[in-house]
Chain A
């Protein structure tokens, strides 16, 4: 499974990558971008199976990236997991309305990440089955 990890902090990208590898995802299939703009460029260049993005980033924020992804018909079903320090009600609602698949508040453990990912794939499988 090809995953794109988007965060302006290299520390966080590394932590998320390591956690994903720990959960069994393939390290070479994980790519990184440091803001929404670069993430979009990578998404256009090749197909990804999931995006894990931060909220606060320069140039293009995570919520703008999410909206840009949902605006593109071919990425409508692309799972987007938001990993962010923003945990206020309005922002969570904004992310939900923009079509986020999961929302994790930093800092988090591998267990939390696994739970959220499992939920995302369960829901996707259910919606795929019913469709």
Chain B
């Protein structure tokens, strides 16, 4: 059976191979313990540094937001976006007003020109020449108004995106408030009791120093 197992001893450090071959069971256990502890300490230190960095970052953010005011700055951002939405809707409606006002004018011009052309279609009569120009202009005018109306539908498309951003800001606002509340309570030592209990300030200091604080 042992023949099927890969030989891992070659890749192990000499001191481990020596330990594996040692007859002294107690020494083996002790060496193994110390190796595992060393590894754990590296891991705990790294986790401690990470936790300290995160804590610091959140506190800084909390401080800045408290200074600026989370509800104020976030609500302002949302308010501004809603204002943009309203303004763009107003602008679009004004353009639509214009299009609605101009279309009958263009139609009337077209009708009047057609009436003139009922009397004369002469190529040299200035009235007929002007009537033909007026007809062509009225037609181009209507096409332009159609394009303008279609362009106003972008207000709806851009507005939908703005609405999505408003909802997103709301969710960020809620999360940030929760984060600030949590770190605020941690800073005020109102955090929920930790699962690991320490009996004295010395124990606490030792534990914190082990974690790199």
Interface residue B212 (Cβ < 8 Å from any Cβ of A): no
- B120: interface (CB < 8 Å): no
Q: Restricting to B125-181, which residues have a CB under 8 Å from any CB of A?
A: 146, 149-157, 159-160
Whether B93 sits at the interface, judged by CB under 8 Å, is yes
A42 to chain B, nearest CB (A): 21
Are the C-beta atoms of A9 and B146 separated by less than 8 Å?
no
**Is A28 part of the contact surface with B, judged by Cβ < 8 Å?**
no
| A121 beta carbon closer than 8 Å to chain B | no
Alpha-carbon distance A110/B103, docked complex (angstroms): 15
* B96 in complex: contacting residue of A11, A54, A107, CB < 8 Å: A11
Residue from B89, B92, B146 within 8 A of A109 (CB atoms): B146
Which residue of the partner chain, among B92, B100, B157, contacts A18 with CB atoms under 8 Å?
A: B100
Contacts of A14 in B (CB 8 A): 93, 96
A107 touches B146 (CB 8 A): no
Give the bracket for the number of chain A residues in contact with chain B.
Answer: 10 to 19
Q: Interface digits, A1-23 against B, CB 8 Å rule (1 contact, 0 not)?
A: 00000010111101100110000
Question: Judging by beta carbons under 8 Å apart, are A56 and B155 in contact?
Answer: no
Q: Is the Cβ of A9 less than 8 Å from the Cβ of B96?
A: no
With known contacts A11-B92, A14-B96, A107–B154 Cβ distance under 8 A:
yes
Q: Contact check, B150 vs A109: say whether CB atoms are below 8 A apart.
A: yes
Of B96, B100, B151, the most chain A CB neighbours within 10 A belong to: B96
Choose from B93, B100, B150, B152 the contact partner of A108 (Cβ within 8 Å).
Answer: B150
A96 at the interface (CB under 8 A from B): no
User: Chain B at the A interface: mostly helix, strand, loop or mixed?
Assistant: helix
Contact (Cβ within 8 A) A56 B160:
yes
Decide yes or no whether A85 CB sits under 8 A from chain B: yes
Pair B155/A9 contact, Cβ less than 8 Å: yes
Interface string of B83-108 (1 = CB under 8 A from A): 00000010011001000100000000
Which residues of A sit under 8 angstroms from B154, Cβ to Cβ? 107
Q: A13: nearest residue on chain B (CB-CB)? A: B156
| Alpha-carbon distance A7/B156, docked complex (angstroms) | 9
Interface residues of A in 72-127 (CB under 8 A from B): 85, 106-110
* Complex alpha-carbon distance, A109 and B147, angstroms: 8
CB–CB B153/A18 < 8 A = no
B89 adjacent to A107 (CB under 8 Å): no
Question: Are A107 and B150 neighbours in the complex by a CB distance under 8 Å?
Answer: yes
**A107 and B89 alpha carbons, distance in the complex (Å):** 16
Q: List 13 A-B pairs, Cβ < 8 Å.
A: A9-B155, A9-B160, A11-B92, A11-B155, A11-B156, A12-B153, A14-B93, A14-B96, A54-B156, A56-B160, A85-B160, A107-B151, A109-B146
Q: Interface on A for B, CB 8 Å cutoff?
A: 7, 9-12, 14-15, 18-19, 54, 56, 85, 106-110
Besides A9-B159, A56-B160, A107-B157, 7 other CB < 8 A contacts?
A: A9-B156, A11-B155, A11-B156, A12-B156, A18-B149, A19-B149, A106-B153
Which residues from chain B sit less than 8 Å from chain A, CB to CB? 89, 92-93, 96, 100, 146, 149-157, 159-160
